[in-house]
Amino acid sequence: MSVSRSAGAHGRAVQKVLHVGPDMSAQGGIASVIGGYAQRSELFESQGYTLSFAATCGARGGLRRIRQFARAWWKVVSGAVSRNIDIVHIHTSVRGSLLRKWLLAMTCIGLRQKYILHLHNGAMAQYIETLPALCRKAVGLMWKRAAQVICLSRDMEAWLDRDRLCHPEKRQLIYNGISDPASDVALGRSGAQPPTILFLGRLVEAKGIKVLLEAAQRLKRLGHPYRLLVAGSGDLQAFLTDVEHRNLSMEVEHLGWATGEQKAQLLANADIFVLPSRSEGFPVAIVEAMAYGATIVSTNIPGVTDAIVHGRDGLLVSPDAADQLCDALAKLITSPALRTQLAAAARQRFLDRFTIERTVECLVSAYDKALH
């Protein structure tokens, strides 16, 4: 997919950037981030950069996925050989994603093609430490030869500096930003009872789904009325069995994976957004909840703490602490005024720091540094 127009900016030559990462139709934060860049490509074009995209994963089936990666690899090779690409922007997570992006980075190094490495997983440091020494050395080369390394949180930034994985001048802290939804969706809560709690994400332990259900069970025992909407994919049968086992069928509703207009309406109507994750890079879901004016409850982990200050923009609890999560949710359920106060502060913080315009400004600065 190519998103480009033949227009320069401020009289300077147009530079071409190829983004490589998951298919934009895939589930997950990286796909959402890349999709946001594509939707607002005119912001990059106004600064002299045109974007194109190559999907390295997302197709189902082993052979299809191999072919998809091969096409992305060839797009990098052909663009580098023809000098039709100025920068390859590599988006990576851990495990298979890191292996695929390492292959692409080594290809760029061999072809003398400048590339930027964009780290999207908050558990990257812990994962790298589990690798054999030879693999860590190989991954280290990927970091050191990058023209710029983009990280998503202050914790990740500190790790890059502490382990000297790249020169400080090459390291950039850039938060994921989104478009302000206020022009497309009417913001503001109806104040209907019971309050609606929304969870968006995969139904896995890393996202704290079991902890959320335990907290929901405690809320019910305490007599607090609520409606919990869960929009996500994963082991649905295990999730539904857990809901039934906890006698939460009347309070909890599963909606499947939400995208587009459905997702926008869920965020616009939710009173409370909850994300009890164990680890995050910089969660787009949190930024979306801030933008839509929902009151946020999450965990005090790196990435989340870059977005939310406890008691000012939302409430943060310890990971895997169902009692704390229950207390935070109960506090918000019983205090509409507190919900309004925290939500207003979070939306203002979004407008100040996490808009797509701010993100593009930072990315363009990284591109400029990579080319000079």
User: pLDDT tens digits for 157-196?
Assistant: 999 999 888 899 999 999 999 999 987 666 666 567 899 9
Report helix angle 96-110 to 133-144, nearest 10: 50
User: What is the CB neighbour count within 10 angstroms for residue 92?
Assistant: 24
The pLDDT tens digits for 10-20 are 556 899 999 99
Say whether pLDDT at 9 is over 60.
Answer: no
Taking the model in full, what pTM does it have? Answer: 0.91
Residues 6+ apart with CB under 8 A from 204: 234, 235
Say whether pLDDT at 1 is over 50.
Answer: no
Residues facing residue 50 across a β-bridge: 16
d(CA 238, CA 54): 35
Say whether pLDDT at 45 is over 90.
Answer: yes
Q: Can you give the pLDDT at residue 5?
A: 40
Average pLDDT score over the chain: 93
Q: Can you give the pLDDT at residue 58?
A: 78
* pLDDT (average), residues 98-102: 96
The pLDDT tens digits for 291-307 are 999 999 999 999 999 99
**How much of the chain, in percent, has pLDDT values that exceed 90?**
87
* pLDDT (average), residues 250-279: 95
- Per-residue CA distances from 167 to 88, 143, 246, 321 (Å): 19, 9, 51, 38
Indicate the SS3 state at residue 129.
helix
User: What is the CB neighbour count within 10 angstroms for residue 83?
Assistant: 9
User: What is the CB neighbour count within 10 angstroms for residue 175?
Assistant: 19
Instruction: Name the more confident of 342 and 29.
Output: 342
- Per-residue CA distances from 107 to 70, 94, 133, 174, 278 (Å): 12, 19, 22, 25, 34
Of 284, 286, 303, 354, the residue nearest 152 (C-alpha): 303
Say whether pLDDT at 3 is over 60.
Answer: no
* pLDDT (average), residues 134-157: 95
Of 89, 6, 80, the residue nearest 50 (C-alpha): 6
d(CA 251, CA 221): 12
The pLDDT tens digits for 208-252 are 999 999 999 999 999 999 999 999 999 999 999 999 999 999 999
Q: Which domains does the chain have, with CATH numbers?
A: 2-178+355-371 (3.40.50.2000), 181-353 (3.40.50.2000)
Q: How confident is the model at residue 59 (pLDDT cuts 50, 70, 90)?
A: low
Say whether pLDDT at 92 is over 90.
Answer: yes
* pLDDT (average), residues 202-206: 93
- Per-residue CA distances from 208 to 201, 245, 278 (Å): 10, 18, 7
Indicate the SS3 state at residue 52.
strand
